[in-house]
Amino acid sequence: MSNPLNPLIELLKLVKLLVFDFDGTVTKNWEEALPFKVAYVHGLAVALDKSVRDTWELIAKTEQTVLKGDPAQYGWIFQGTLVSPATGDPYVLMLTVSRLIWMEVKGNLDTFEEFHAKAWWECYPKADTVFQPGVEELFRALKGKPFATEIVTNSGTGSVRDKLNRLGREFDWLTARIHGGAKKNEFYHYPRIDETSGELDKLPLRIDLPGFGRRVEVRRRQYFSVLNIQRWMVGADWSEICVVGDNLELDGLIVLLLGGSFILMMNEHTPQHEIEYVRAHPRGHIVSSLVEIQEALVEAA
Ligand SMILES: [Mg+2]
């Protein structure tokens, strides 16, 4: 049924560039990470000289500490600064939790990094590929649209391409549109003398967002550059750009601040304050399934 009040339909009518984050947006990364988690917890048990059962109990208990604790304390730390909540990504949550457990059991973190680096390389390849429901229908609906569709991800282009290839040759057009290594976590405070970053330099260094409990870094320069290049390619203003992502801070914040739109793909781990911020924002949209975007695309045609 057509819903003339659905702002998503109006957005998809005006957009010139639609950018998808990949992990957690196109895929269900919390499900993908389960085999990784099983292998990692096993390795942690061996390293801490504990039984696997006891280690799972510690994991469950410590996850609750992190999930119910102060969000300003836990997450992805880059150059000593928190740049994404622990709930933003299953691998960040695993790292956060295992670091706390290591500290609790051993009393220091002296050998933790060594353990983690080794466990990461052994366990990460075990992660699964689980697409969001409706992904094929969505990509089919996007093909041939009068706007550009791109994928911008922190992951490497190779791993994303390998996953997309599982969907078949029908989506080869999209595998040519993957932009990897976006470094959405990396922020910079110094202005740089080049005309490509002028708009970013006008934004504040950090802003207060309700519920985050900390100042949030704004100037994610590498991510900005990738988006900006795509913007030039299609001749779009920021107001004609929409990003779809599962992490407000990493995917959506600079887009909203620069005048673009953001569709938050929420999951069971999305913090309530992120949902509320996006919902209250005039250019923010919330979906819990790619099907909602696909249906809006059909209505917008
Ligand atoms: Mg993501």
pLDDT of residue 198: 75
Cα–Cα distance, 250 to 213 (Å, whole number):
16
- C-alpha 223 to ligand 1 mean position (Å): 13
3-state secondary structure of 246: coil
- C-alpha 246 to ligand 1 mean position (Å): 5
- State pLDDT tens for residues 243-291: 999 999 999 999 999 999 999 999 999 999 999 999 999 999 999 999 9
Which helix (H) or strand (E) element contains residue 119? helix 112-123
Residues with Cβ within 5 Å of ion ligand 1? 21, 23-24, 246
Q: List, in order, residues 6 or more apart from 144 with CB less than 8 Å away.
A: none
Cα–Cα distance, 176 to 127 (Å, whole number):
24
- C-alpha 89 to ligand 1 mean position (Å): 7
- State pLDDT tens for residues 36-50: 999 999 999 999 999
Residue 232 DSSP class: H
- C-alpha 50 to ligand 1 mean position (Å): 33
Report the alpha-carbon angle 34-40-41, nearest 5. 90
Which helix (H) or strand (E) element contains residue 152? strand 148-152
Which helix (H) or strand (E) element contains residue 272? helix 272-280
- C-alpha 45 to ligand 1 mean position (Å): 29
pTM greater than the 0.85 cutoff: yes
Q: Which of the residues in the chain have pLDDT under 70?
A: 1-4, 190-197
